[in-house]
Protein backbone atom coordinates (compact mmCIF):
# COMPACT_ATOMS: atom_id res chain seq x y z
CA UNK A 1 0.00 0.00 0.00
CA UNK A 2 2.96 2.33 0.56
CA UNK A 3 4.04 2.08 -3.06
CA UNK A 4 0.49 2.81 -4.22
CA UNK A 5 0.39 5.94 -2.04
CA UNK A 6 3.62 7.19 -3.58
CA UNK A 7 2.37 6.58 -7.10
CA UNK A 8 -0.92 8.35 -6.36
CA UNK A 9 0.97 11.30 -4.85
CA UNK A 10 3.15 11.64 -7.95
CA UNK A 11 0.09 11.36 -10.18
CA UNK A 12 -1.65 14.13 -8.25
CA UNK A 13 1.34 16.45 -8.43
CA UNK A 14 2.03 15.77 -12.11
CA UNK A 15 -1.66 16.14 -13.03
CA UNK A 16 -1.82 19.56 -11.36
CA UNK A 17 1.45 20.68 -12.98
CA UNK A 18 0.26 19.58 -16.43
CA UNK A 19 -3.05 21.37 -15.86
CA UNK A 20 -1.24 24.53 -14.79
CA UNK A 21 1.07 24.45 -17.84
CA UNK A 22 -1.90 23.98 -20.21
CA UNK A 23 -3.71 26.83 -18.48
CA UNK A 24 -0.70 29.14 -18.73
CA UNK A 25 -0.26 28.31 -22.43
CA UNK A 26 -3.94 29.14 -22.96
CA UNK A 27 -3.52 32.42 -21.07
CA UNK A 28 -0.47 33.38 -23.13
CA UNK A 29 -2.44 32.58 -26.28
CA UNK A 30 -5.16 34.97 -25.06
CA UNK A 31 -2.51 37.58 -24.26
CA UNK A 32 -3.15 37.96 -20.54
CA UNK A 33 -2.93 36.05 -17.30
CA UNK A 34 -6.53 35.16 -16.56
CA UNK A 35 -6.71 34.23 -12.88
CA UNK A 36 -10.30 33.02 -13.14
CA UNK A 37 -9.29 30.56 -15.88
CA UNK A 38 -6.34 29.31 -13.80
CA UNK A 39 -8.56 28.83 -10.75
CA UNK A 40 -11.25 27.09 -12.81
CA UNK A 41 -8.74 24.63 -14.32
CA UNK A 42 -7.22 23.85 -10.93
CA UNK A 43 -10.65 23.32 -9.36
CA UNK A 44 -11.64 21.10 -12.29
CA UNK A 45 -8.43 19.13 -11.90
CA UNK A 46 -9.11 18.68 -8.19
CA UNK A 47 -12.63 17.45 -8.89
CA UNK A 48 -11.34 14.91 -11.41
CA UNK A 49 -8.76 13.69 -8.92
CA UNK A 50 -11.37 13.38 -6.17
CA UNK A 51 -13.23 11.01 -8.49
CA UNK A 52 -10.26 9.02 -9.79
CA UNK A 53 -8.27 8.51 -6.56
CA UNK A 54 -10.86 6.20 -4.92
CA UNK A 55 -11.41 4.37 -8.21
CA UNK A 56 -7.68 3.77 -8.68
CA UNK A 57 -7.22 2.86 -5.03
CA UNK A 58 -9.90 0.17 -5.18
CA UNK A 59 -8.73 -1.07 -8.58
CA UNK A 60 -5.01 -1.32 -7.78
CA UNK A 61 -5.26 -1.78 -4.01
CA UNK A 62 -6.01 -5.51 -4.11
CB atoms inside a 10 Å sphere around CB 45? 19
How far apart, in whole angstroms, are the C-alpha atoms of residue 62 and residue 60?
A: 6
In this prediction, residue 40 carries a pLDDT of 82
- For the chain, the domains span 22-62
For residue range 3-21, what is the model confidence (pLDDT) as tens digits?
767 777 787 788 878 888 8
Give the global pTM: 0.58
* pLDDT tens column, 17-62: 888 888 788 878 877 777 777 788 778 888 887 887 777 777 766 6
pLDDT value, residue 50:
82
| Whole-number pLDDT of residue 2 | 64
Count other Cβ atoms within 10 Å, centred on residue 23.
20
Classify 32 in phi/psi space as left (phi over 0), alpha (psi -120 to 50) or beta.
Answer: beta
Rounded to whole angstroms, how far apart are CA atoms 62 and 59? 7
pLDDT score recorded for residue 1: 55
Amino acid sequence: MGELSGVLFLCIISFHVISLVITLIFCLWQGAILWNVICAWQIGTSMLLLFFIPVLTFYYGN
